[in-house]
Amino acid sequence: MSLTLDEIQNFKGKYPRQIWSLFFSEMWERFCFYGMRGMLVFFMISQLNFHEKEANLQYGATQAFVYAFTFVGGLFADKILGFRKSLFWGGLLMIVGSLILATDPHKFFFLGIAFTVVGTGFFKPNISSMVGQLYKPNDSRADAGFSLFYAGINLGALLGGYLCIAIGKGELFASLIPEEMRWHIAFGFAAVVMVISLINFIFTQKRLGTIGLQPGHPLNEVKSAPIPKWKEYGVYVLSLIFVPIIMIMVAKTEYTDYFMWTIGPLTLIYLFYEMTKVTSAERKKLWAALVFILFSILFWGIYEQSGGSLSIFAAKNLNKDLLGLDPNGVNNSGGAFFIIFLAPLIGLLWIWLNKRKIEPNTIIKFGLGFIFLGLGYYVLFATRLFANLQGITSLNFFTIALLVITLGELCLSPIGLSIMTKLSTKNLQGMMMGMWFLASAYGQYVAGIIGAGLATAKEGSTNYDALITYTDGYKQLGLYAVIAGVVLILISPFVKKLMQEVK
């Protein structure tokens, strides 16, 4: 604990040295998460014999709880565990979940998934918070730090998204891994990299000074009474109690429906109550934040087909005309690949436009995100033009769609968390962050419903019929996204007034 917070934050150069260690811990955690995410729908259909509609709904439920639980994990970290203990506990739960799946993914599928969901909720929000604390408030270098961290997230997503599904399907290392062990190894791989992530974090802690310490720790910058041990142990016990509850709610998706139909309205009612206590100017900003939140649900609902219906489309309807690569691997990792290369270029474009005083404001960027998303889905629709009579079409052309969709994500995703902090009042920042993550949870939930709605090909229909059904659905989604983008651009003057001085 030799370093003080001032010594950490007064670093020379562009990046604090601690960011590289946090980068690697996050990279391996994202490898685990995206590797698992990419396998879910394909495994449910090919190994557990689920119907496509059922698999999409359960995928949506799983992802919804992951994002909903980040709110809970962040809350426990703030109040009781601190970022470090929360991150470590979450990582352990993810390892347990991956090991359960590696032992017997057919028998213990939902149990392993439930451990992973709860673990991700504790890990995901807290490592980002520690990156933020490496910088003083208003340090202009923080954006560069978060850009580097964002690259780490996507490098992990790229590697895990491709390798895990390719091993499970037998597209990689087929001669080395017996067929009956492929899925065991694929899920076990996620556990191995998560162990690497936690070992790396153990060594990182020595250089973090006071960052991420538990509230009440004697060396914590903010002085408060020590947290009683029973509260800390209570969090661990409570999170384990959540495991069987989430297992049941994911396995029986109607329970997820009840949860999602309850939690959203209750959160909104509470927000409206809090809005009565703030000034008129602050209330306007909160209304603007709500516009971003509601539109983001639609964006993620359409965007997140990658883990659901597009996973099925990749398995059934794509060839290997892109360097012989596995279509499911490309579907899972293509977006991350494009982000790594495009994120710095988009950042430079905004700077270039800003210097010429023609950079679009935040709400127009959101609108552009929807328009690119919609155009990407029109490219997915156009894959039918390259299909043969067996319903197999070009992976090359499909990858162009992923590129266009990624441009949409880059217009919207990086600015979401930033705009929430700018539009929130000080005493509602935690809640508005929670609502942003909850909006992501609703987006995942909606994605599952949309994917299930696309899985409408009748029993006995041909693979070509399935291609036509899915691409018709993608055309509809493209239209909805473009309309939403146009609406956002049209209402941008009104929302800009609500935002006042916030850019």
Higher pLDDT among residues 485 and 363, named by residue: 485
Comparing CA positions, the residue from 159, 149, 205 lying closest to residue 417 is 149
How far apart (Å, rounded) are the C-alpha atoms in residues 150 and 415?
Answer: 12
Higher pLDDT among residues 61 and 343, named by residue: 61
Q: Check residue 426 and give its pLDDT.
A: 66
**Structure confidence by residue, pLDDT tens digits, 237-294:** 999 999 999 999 888 888 888 888 888 888 888 888 888 888 888 888 889 989 998 9
Does residue 341 carry a pLDDT above 50? yes
> HSE (CB half, 13 Å, CA atoms) of 287?
15
Task: Report in angstroms the alpha-carbon separations of 480 from 64, 302, 370.
Answer: 22, 9, 9
Mean pLDDT of 172-178: 87
H/E run at residue 428? none
How far apart (Å, rounded) are the C-alpha atoms in residues 401 and 377?
Answer: 7
Between CA 362 and CA 253, with CA 447 as vertex, the angle to 5 degrees is 140
Confidence of residue 1 (pLDDT cuts 50, 70, 90): very low
**Structure confidence by residue, pLDDT tens digits, 383-405:** 999 999 999 999 999 999 999 99
Q: Tokens 């995410």 — which residue? A: 37
Distance of CA 115 to the CA centre of its chain: 17
Higher pLDDT among residues 422 and 118, named by residue: 118
In this prediction the pTM is 0.86
**Structure confidence by residue, pLDDT tens digits, 193-206:** 999 999 998 888 88
Residues with Cβ within 8 Å of residue 491, at least 6 apart in sequence:
291, 363
Per-chain mean pLDDT for the chain:
86
**Structure confidence by residue, pLDDT tens digits, 95-134:** 999 999 999 999 999 999 999 999 988 887 777 778 777 8
Q: Check residue 412 and give its pLDDT.
A: 82
Mean pLDDT of 172-177: 87
Amino acid in the structure at residue 106: H
